[in-house]
Each structure stands twice: as C-alpha cells, then as structure tokens.
Structure 1
Amino acid sequence: MLIFEWVVGVLLGAVVLAALARRVGAPYPAFLALGGCALAFVPGVPNLALDPELALALFLAPVLLDAGYDISLRDLKANWRSVGGLALGAVAATTAAVALVAHLVVPDMPIAACVVLGAVVAPPDAVAALSVLRHVALPHRVAVILRGESLLNDAGSLLIYRLAVAAAVTGSFHLSEVAPTFLLGVVGSLVAGPCLARLYLPIAHRFSDAPSTIVLQFVAAFGIWLIAERLHLSGVLTIVSFAITVARYSPGLTAPRTRILSYAVWDTAVFVLNVLAFVLIGIQIGPILDRLTGSDRSDALILAAAVFAAVVVVRIGWVVAANGLRGLGRKLRRGAKPSLAPALAISWSGMRGIVTIATALALPTEGFPKRDLIVFGAFCTVIGTLVVQGLTLAPLLRLLRLEDDDPVGRETGRARAEAYAAALESLRTAGDASSVAALRAEFETALEEAERHEEGRAPESLPSDGARRQAIGAARDAVLRLRREGRIGDDAYYRLEEEFDWAELNVTPRAEV
C-alpha cells in the first residue's frame, strides 16, 4: 500500500511539474529531473529497483516506436549527411571524450567502464528536444535534423554500450570476433523491421475497436524489441524501421477515432515512462551518495562536472566544425550573408534524458566495476543538460532569430487546395439539396482563395469554420445547462459531448489543437 501511495503522489507531482514547465516554455523532463533529484533526499522513500534486463525494453521500446512513427523518411534522406554526422560521428566523439575524461579523473576505473559511461551519456533525448521545439518557431531543416539525430543516435550509442559492458564484465574484447556479428545484426535489423511491419499491419487491421488496437500497438513495441534481442539484432534499428514502415502504410487502414485516441494514449505513455525513469534513478542516487564517502564522493562530483562539460563542449565543437563551417562555405560561395545561428541552435539542443537513464539503470547490479560512479555521472549529466541547456534553449532560439521559409506550410497549402478541388468535384453529383448547395459554396470559396494566393496556399480552415466553432460552443453551454438543471442525465450529456468534440475537432486548425 505504501508503494501505491507513493506512485499516486509521484504522478500528481509530475503533472504539476509538467504544468510549470509549460508555463515557462521549458522541456518537462528538466522539471522531472529536478523532481527525481529531490527524491534522493526525501526520507522514507520506498526502495524501488528495476531488473536491469527490463530497463531497456520498458523505457526504450515504446519511446522509439512513438518517435519513429512521427519521423519523415523523405526529410531524413534529404538531410542524411547532417543527421548521420550527429547520430554516428558526434556519438563516437562524445563517447571517446567522456571515456578519456573519466580515465583521467578516476585512473583506477577500467577503460571498458569509462567507455560505458561515454556511451551512456552520448545520445541526446528526443522527448526533451521536441518539448522545447513545440514552444519556439524553428526552421524546418533544423527541426528535422534534431528529430532524426535523437532517433538514430541511440543505435550507435547502444552498440558501443553493449560491447563495452561485455568487455567490462568479461575483461576481454576482440574486434575481429565482434565485427561480423555486428554487421550481420545491423543488416538483419533493417530487414527484420519492415518485414515484421508487413506482418503486423494485416493483423492490426482485423481489430476495429480502439482499446484492442492500442493494446496491440504496445504489444508490438515490446514484442519486436524482445524478438530482436532473441535474434541478436539491434532493438533500436528494428523498432525504428518497423515504426517508419507502419507509419507509411497504416493511415488508410486505421479508423480516425482510433487514430486520435491512439495519439493521446501514446503521449500519456511516454510521459509516464519519463516520470518512472526519473523517479527510479532519483531513488538510486540517495544510496549511492551514502556509499560514496570521503575522497570517493569528491571524485564522483569532479567526474560528474567533467563529464557534463565534455558532453557540452564536444557537441558544440562537432556541430560548428562539421555542420556550421560547411554551411558557411556554401553561403560564401553563393555570396550570401554567413550565419552560424543554425549550428548554434543544434549544438545547444543536446539535452540528455530517458535513453541515458535507461542505459544507466540497465547496468548489471552485481560485479560491474564503478557502477555507482557511472550511474551518478549519468544522472548529473542528465540534470545538467536538461536544466542548463533546456531552460536556456528557448531564449537562445529567440535571440538567434532563425527564419523559416515554412516548406511544410507551403506543401500543406498546395495539398489542401487539391483536396478542396476533389471535394468540390464529388459534390457536383450529390444533388441540389440546400445543405449540399451550402457545402458546395463553402468549398468553392475556399478554392478561390487558394487559387488567388501566389503560392497556391489554401487557408487554414473553411470560411465558416470560425462561426461553426462559435455555434458548437453555444450548443455545449446549452447542453451543460440542461444537465445542471437535471433535465438530462449523464449518459445523454456524455454522448452529446462526444459529438461536439468531434465536430469541433473537425473545424479547428491543427495549430490550435
């Protein structure tokens, strides 16, 4: 019962912290990290522990599936050099730099354990970055690079992580023995993901009710991760390639109601997983600090500060050198005014989060060298990047004044105009009823506005949508009054409320949802 009470209290506290984060335009993981840190010093906190073998599957599988579903394969291909450089090169450079720093600060830490620490803190977090980007207008290309990097860098860091963990546990490592298995695993993962997606889609299509469909989505996320683990494939690459394939082929197979409910459930699930991760690692920090006494505690604090500095500096150096200077050269050749603003925005968007926490929690609890130092260093790096970078990223982006030519808006406008034309054509044979005539007039007006725009950009909504939202609001008030007066019961009210929800959603631009 005590644990249940703590879970309820923690979830309530997380909701409050997330609300505060939204008010200041900060990533909610930053406030969750501070809350997890506070738990380390609260007396009477239950001693909760998670099986290390469960940590990666529990935290990474659903988060990666959710992020992979939203990524644009076309945009990834268009920016593959920048994304690849960050996802592979920056991860490798960060791992090496952190391993070197850890070895210098704690000379008796085995090299393999130093590499493990580097791999744990190397990948930035998608959830943290995207929660900031929602509050700040950002050039589309920069946002695509950040999303793609945070999705794909987990594969490289987890590969290094697992090889280093094996070396730390066994005390030996031979690249010649590992390389063939690694290459086979990468190729196999990129093949297995789409194949499993093709098997999943016909099965998912047989379920029409939203609860069953959503549960099946979670079963697929965890099941595919477990299958990849059993086949010695990369769980990250398998999940990501599965999600991209499903996202491409599922829209025509999923009912609109199920899709809307699914988005809400997955957003909630990712939020709860972040809460759980920060709580679990926060609870571990207290006992770790108790075990670290005297010089060990000093070494831990120095190591945490050094790792945080290395993570930030290496990313800035890598992005400015590999991306900023290349873009600078292109602009100079074109005679354009040079700017390092995009590179600065990308370099300061390297917050660490749930991936770092999950890999730290997944370390073996018995016999792993310097595990406490690694977990403590990882947690402090997460805290540091989320608080320092997370809380200052939005002001920095506003200061840089990055301009976006809004390619997504233009594409949306052109597609909306064609959709209006197709809808209007379908209404030409729908009869001459007054309601049909009124609807036809709406689409004709919207299409005329789109065709007058020099970029072929249709309006965000139909001309009458604002009036419809006003009418729906009045209808809601009337039904609510009937309920308060006892003239209708709750069942009737909830049925009408759902109808109004769908009607209002249909006439509300996405930016306002």
Structure 2
Amino acid sequence: MHAVDAFKLVLVLLALIVALHWLALKLRLPPSAALLVGGGALAFVPGLPSVSLDPELALVLFLPPLLMDGAYSTALGRFRRHLPGILSLAVGAVVFTTLVVGAVAHWLVPSLPWAACFALGAIVSPPDAVAARAVLKGVSLPRRLSALLEGESLLNDATGLILFRFAVAATLSGVFHAGEALGNFVLVAVGGIAVGLVVAAGWMLVAKRLRDPTLLVVTTSLLGWAAYLAGEAVHVSGVIATVTAGLAVGWYQHVIFPAIVRLIGGSFSHILVFVLEAMVFILIGFSLRGVIERLGGIEATPVSTIAAVLGVVLAVVVARFIWVFGSDAVLALARKAGLKRARPLGWRQATVLGWTGMRGVVTLAVPLTLPLEMPGRDLMLLCAFAAIFATVVVQGASLGWLIRTVCPVDNDPPAKMNMPATEGAMARARMARVEELAYAEDGTLIHPRLLEEYKRRMEFMERYEEDASATMEILRPHFDVLLASIAAGRAELIRIHRDGHIEDEVLHELERDLDVEELAITFQRGD
C-alpha cells in the first residue's frame, strides 16, 4: 500500500471511530463492542483494502501509552493495599487459565503437542488492559473491585507474555525445565521493576529542569514508550517497566508539575488514549478478514475446529470463575479461622469479578508473532479472535446489566476524611496564610478586601462541612448565575471582535480567562 493511501485509510478509520462511538452512545452500548463489531463487518465490505495488524508494531505502538496512562491514574494507596488480590489475579489466575485451556485444548485436539496447547492457553489467558479500561469506563464499581480490576489489567499482560515465550520455546525445542522457567520469570519481573524505577528517576531529573509546559507534556507522554523499549532492550518485562514508571510518575506528578501542565497534559492524554483505544478495537475487527482468509474461508473451517474454538472460549470464561470463587472461598475459610486481614469479596463482587475478563490487543497480536512452523498456529489465531469477540462483545455489553442485577456492595472501610472535611482543611490552611500576608510588618492591614473575601469563604466552608448536600443545593443557583454571566461576557467579547474593534490576541487572552473561570465553576458544581 502506498504511503498516501495508508494515510487516507487512517483518516477513514478515524471517521469510522467517531461514527461508531456516537452510535454506541446512542444505543447505550460499550463503544469497544461497537468498534469491534463495526470493524469486523466493514472488513468484508467489497472494495476496501485488507488491513493487517503488524504484531510487533501493535504491541509497541498501543500497549505502552495505554499501560502508562492506566498506571498514571491508578490510586497507588489502594493498589498497595490490594496488591495480594491483584497478584492473585494477574499471576495466579493467568497461570491457572493457561493450564486449564491447555488441558482442554489437548483433550479436544489430541494431535496438538502439550507445549503448543499451553502456548494457546498463554495467548488467551490474560485479560487486556485496553479492553478492561474501555469497558469499565461506563460502569460504577465498588472501590475494592475497581482496584483489583485496574491492578490486574496493568500486570497480567506481563504474565501472559512470559508464559507464552516459555511455551513456544518448549514447543519448538521439545525441552522445558520448570525450575529454570520460574527463575527466569522472577528475574524478568524484578528486572522490569528496576528498569521502570530508573526511567522514572531520569524523568524526574529532566522534569524538574524543564520550564516549558509543552515540553513537559511531550516528555511525559513519551515516557511509556521509553520504559517499555528500555525493558525489552535488556530482556526484562517491558510491561512491568512501563507500569512501574507510570505508578512512580503518577505519585510524584503532584509535586513536580505546575497546574498548567496538569490541565494541558490531562486534555492531551484524554484525546490520545481515546484515539489509541478506539483504533485498537477497530483494527482488531478489521483483522478478522485476515484470520478467516488464513483458514481458507469460513466454509472451509472443519466442524472439529469450530468445536475446539468454542471449547477454548468456554474454558477461558469458566476458568476465571473457578479461580475467583475458589480464591474467595479460601479467604472465607481463613477469616473463619481467625485471620482478620482475610476479607472475602462475597458472591456479589465475585460474580462481577469473574465476568470481567475482557481480552484485547495482546491476545490478537501475540499469536501473529508465532513462527509458521508452530503446530496449531491457525487454530490459535482463530481461538484468539473468538476469545476477544466473546469477552468484549458478550461480556462487555452485559456487564452493566450484571452489575445492576447483583448489586455488588462496597465493603471497603471508608477513608478517615471525606470530601467536605478535606476541603475544609484546605480552606483553613489558605485562610491562615492569607491572614499572615494581609498585614505589613508594622501591623497595618494592607489587603482588607482579600481578608474579607476569605472570611466569607470560611463561613461558607463551615456550613458546607456541616451539611454538604444542603449547602450545594443552595449554591447551585448561584453557580447558574455565574455561568450565565460568563456566557454573556463571552458573547459580548465575540461581538466586539466580529465588529473589528479588537485584535485576535486580545480575543484569545480574554477568552482563556473566561474558560478558566467557567471550568472552575463547573468543577465546583460537580458536573
């Protein structure tokens, strides 16, 4: 394909993303499911060129920035608190699913070597960070459940990729040493953490010296790729390196970034992640055509192959439920035995957790890297796409209904301070500082209006801490008037500019002030 044609195709895909995303919002469906189905349907439209997803490029292009964004926005306190549960899912569930799928695949296709069966299990076992983020955006979950799913989606790709490499090597060489594999697994994981910390430390040194907001945003946006490529270059886990760097940057960005960088960076990251996530799903849909063509067409697919694919997909779903409910049963027994730290989820949260195992770009890209001489390569490709389709479309589309049906309860203990108490503490700190600076050294009051304004703010905060909901109801009409006044000011500013009385620079400067003021009021309203 010519470079210009490739660029035109990218523009067409972006237009399709907008259209399918809008349609999904109208139909109240997960956008990821609409993009996947829409891409798969459009792949067979006559006249459209065949789109092949280069596996190495897909992993390097899509995975690092999306993992980085997820780690950056992860609540590190909850992540540490729930780390045992996260590792149970990200390592234990992935290994267990790999074994179950491998056993089922060998039972359904006895001619397939055991190592190849486990390679298939490693391909379909890790739920995908991109798919999980895309589906979970539209649902509301208890805090513990959110922490488990977010943490799992950040780490399980590393487990799946490492298992996959071991299984492929064992298939092609016919040799496998469990002790050596376990040692390499630990070495790759620990090495990934070390590389991520080094990359994050380097970023902090650079970020402290950069003053330009644009350069800070660009530098931080490149950090995910830097960590991933650095990890892969020294043969450790690039996924873990990226997640580690993202967690470190997310923790320190509050003390390194000025406010303008957080505002600009947040907006830039939101758009970048939206485009990359959407592009992943529509490209996976387009890849269906290539998978079917490799198998010689749907009509040429044997019934035994279809049965094997359905069996593998069913094994993927059932294995997750077995692991989740089995782990929860162990926690319940430990709790009864007197271990106070063991807190089982309960059947409601366990049901939702078992149903949230969406597969995505890693599951599709990894089998495309298989050598041509790999036994069962075509079957692995078909199973990978079927697992993605079943988990994203079926599970993703029904997740909201499941949550509303089972009503998972948030049993995490509340934080020591809520929003009103925290805002009150901040307001008192600001008031104390204003009182210090409002007077000259000789005791003369030099900022009377500012002091009076902050006294009024403190009076409001005292009422807000006593009854936050009632205070906000009283304040909403006040915010509505402020927003109306901003709209009137903006209309007058545009009229003056359109009449040719001011230059564009004046328009942009004053409009920015109005935008910042409107944004602050919108945040205060809680919109």
Superposition pairs of residues 203-214 of structure 1, within 5 angstroms? 203-214=206-217
Query: Pick from 413, 419, 427: which aligns with 2:434?
Result: 427
Choose 337-346 or 95-104, whichever is displaced more.
337-346
Cα deviation, residue 318, structure 1? 1.8
Whole-Å separation in 2 of the counterparts to 1:238 and 1:295: 43
User: Are 2:127 and 1:139 aligned?
Assistant: no
Cα deviation, residue 291, structure 1? 3.4
Whole-Å separation in 2 of the counterparts to 1:273 and 1:451: 41
Percent sequence identity over aligned pairs: 34
Deviation digits for residues 228-276 of structure 1 (CA, Å, limit 9, x no counterpart): 1121111111111111112112221112222222222223222322333
Whole-Å separation in 1 of the counterparts to 2:186 and 2:271: 36
One-letter amino acid matched to 1:452: E
Whole-Å separation in 2 of the counterparts to 1:143 and 1:150: 11
TM-score, reference length from structure 2 = 0.86
Query: Pick from 468, 490, 513: which aligns with 1:476?
Result: 490
User: Which residue of the partner structure matches residue 506 of structure 1?
Assistant: 520
Change (3 A) 1:119 1:39: farther
Q: Secondary structure at the match of 2:522?
A: coil
Deviation digits for residues 466-513 of structure 1 (CA, Å, limit 9, x no counterpart): 543343233233334444555555544333332222222223238955
Superposition pairs of residues 315-354 of structure 1, within 5 angstroms? 315-323=320-328, 326-327=331-332, 330=335, 340-354=347-361
Query: Pick from 230, 254, 275: which aligns with 2:233?
Result: 230
User: Are 2:309 and 1:304 aligned?
Assistant: yes
Alpha-carbon contact 1:27-1:390 (below 8 Å) kept: yes
Whole-Å separation in 2 of the counterparts to 1:324 and 1:416: 40
User: Are 2:328 and 1:314 aligned?
Assistant: no
User: Which residue of the partner structure matches residue 109 of structure 1?
Assistant: 112
Cα deviation, residue 81, structure 1? 2.8
Whole-Å separation in 2 of the counterparts to 1:249 and 1:182: 29
Deviation digits for residues 200-237 of structure 1 (CA, Å, limit 9, x no counterpart): 11112323333322322233221221211121111111
Change (3 A) 1:460 1:288: same
One-letter amino acid matched to 1:104: W
Cα deviation, residue 396, structure 1? 1.5
Alpha-carbon contact 2:348-2:406 (below 8 Å) kept: yes
Cα deviation, residue 181, structure 1? 3.2
User: Which residue of the partner structure matches residue 263 of structure 1?
Assistant: 266
- Structure 2: segments with no counterpart, 5+ residues: 439-445
Whole-Å separation in 1 of the counterparts to 2:397 and 2:144: 22
Alpha-carbon contact 1:155-1:236 (below 8 Å) kept: yes
Change (3 A) 1:25 1:116: farther
Alpha-carbon contact 1:109-1:369 (below 8 Å) kept: yes
Deviation digits for residues 421-479 of structure 1 (CA, Å, limit 9, x no counterpart): 11111222343656414531342123312442599x99799886554334323323333
Cα deviation, residue 327, structure 1? 4.8
Deviation digits for residues 116-161 of structure 1 (CA, Å, limit 9, x no counterpart): 2222221223343344444333211111111111112122112111
User: Are 2:396 and 1:390 aligned?
Assistant: yes
User: Which residue of the partner structure matches residue 449 of structure 1?
Assistant: 463
State how many pairs are aligned: 510
Whole-Å separation in 2 of the counterparts to 1:460 and 1:483: 37
User: Which residue of the partner structure matches residue 93 of structure 1?
Assistant: 96
User: Are 2:87 and 1:80 aligned?
Assistant: no
Alpha-carbon contact 1:116-1:164 (below 8 Å) kept: yes
One-letter amino acid matched to 1:350: G
Whole-Å separation in 1 of the counterparts to 2:363 and 2:415: 32
Change (3 A) 1:237 1:403: same
Query: Pick from 152, 156, 164: which aligns with 2:155?
Result: 152
Cα deviation, residue 279, structure 1? 4.0
RMSD over equivalenced CA pairs, Å: 3.3
Regions of 4+ moved over 6 Å: 331-334, 457-463
One-letter amino acid matched to 1:448: E
Which of the pair has more CA radius of gyration?
2
User: Are 2:364 and 1:357 aligned?
Assistant: yes
